[in-house]
Amino acid sequence: MLPMCGRYVLYSPIEVLIARFGIKQATFGLTPRYNIAPEQEIPVIIQSDEMRLVGMRWGLIPFWTKQPSSDYSTINARAETLELKPTYRHSFRNRRCLIPSDGFYEWKGTAGRKTPYFIRLRSQEPFAFAGLYDIWEPPEGVTVTSAAILTTIPNELLSKIHNRMPVILSPEEQATWLDRENNDPSVLRAMLDPYPSEEMEAYRVSTYVNTPSNEGPTSIVPEV
């Protein structure tokens, strides 16, 4: 199986995201993106004194690693083992974030014959992946802030495509996830369950999305 979730889209304009997530400050410029890939700069929502939209590298680099390109850099984090893995333990307690999205891709089939699917909410509204982030500071040079998307077991819809799915938070869960005063692992873990199948939809799309450099609305057109 390929990593889950390894490609996603965000085309909603900033005005929609401000209203949807209560963003007060945006320092990351948005353009419609239909094929966001690992190691690219992505928009991430964090909360300090106010809700902020900032840019981060997709692929979490833990603060304690010696090199930013180490094997510890990862785009996904398994919800079941966050407290056990040194890579995520600190971020799970102290650096949680939201990663806004309009949908994501997954591939079904055997190697060389995989069919891409686009998955989104039935409402077609933007939503938020549960994310973690970290800040890597070199002895000298440029600081790197990076993030990962959490994954969990699939719901009924996704189980027909892949053995994992990204954690999607409901609007009611988002404030609790971002609350830096909330360090109760049981409360946090309770939110990392599969999103309801009945509120999601999936359909086949063209292999055009297989190449990360391919962009544009063509990526999410249903394959006939």
CATH number at residue 139: 3.90.1680.10
What pLDDT digit, counting tens, does each position of 59-89 carry? 999 999 887 765 656 899 999 999 999 999 9
The rounded distance, in Å, linking the Cα atoms of 73 and 188 is 23
The answer to whether position 180 is within a domain reads yes
The rounded distance, in Å, linking the Cα atoms of 73 and 125 is 30
pLDDT at residue 1, as a whole number: 40
The average pLDDT across 7-34 equals: 95
pLDDT at residue 4, as a whole number: 59
Query: For the whole model, what pTM was predicted?
Result: 0.94
The answer to whether position 166 is within a domain reads yes
- Domain limits for position 181: 8-220
Q: List all residues 6 or more positions away from 172 whose beta carbon is below 8 Å from its beta carbon.
A: none
Degrees to nearest 5, angle at CA 143 with 142 and 145:
135
Active-site position among 106, 137, 156, 173 = 106
The answer to whether position 53 is within a domain reads yes
pLDDT at 97 over 80: yes
Query: Can you read off the two tokens belonging to residue 220?
Result: 């999410």
Amino acid of residue 29: G
Active-site position among 5, 83, 137, 223 = 5
The answer to whether position 52 is within a domain reads yes
Measured in Å, how far apart are the chain's first and last C-alpha atoms?
25
pLDDT at residue 113, as a whole number: 83
Q: For CA atoms 60, 9, 79, 25, give the dihedral sign.
A: positive
The average pLDDT across 28-36 equals: 95
The answer to whether position 107 is within a domain reads yes
String of DSSP letters for 102-168: SEEEEEESSTT--EEEEEEETT---EEEEEEEEEE--SSS--EEEEEEEEE---HHHHTT-S-EE-E
Residue 5 known to be catalytic: yes
Residue 106 known to be catalytic: yes
The answer to whether position 2 is within a domain reads no
Q: 26 burial class (0-12, 13-18, 19+ CB within 10 angstroms)?
A: middle
Long-range contacts of 198-202 (CB under 8 A, 24+ apart): 198/122, 199/121, 199/122, 199/123, 200/119, 200/120, 200/121, 200/122, 200/155, 200/157, 200/158, 201/119, 201/120, 201/121, 201/122, 201/157, 202/106, 202/117, 202/118, 202/119, 202/157, 202/158, 202/161
The average pLDDT across 21-43 equals: 94
The answer to whether position 3 is within a domain reads no
Q: 219 burial class (0-12, 13-18, 19+ CB within 10 angstroms)?
A: buried
The answer to whether position 1 is within a domain reads no
pLDDT at residue 125, as a whole number: 97
- How many structural domains is the chain composed of? 1
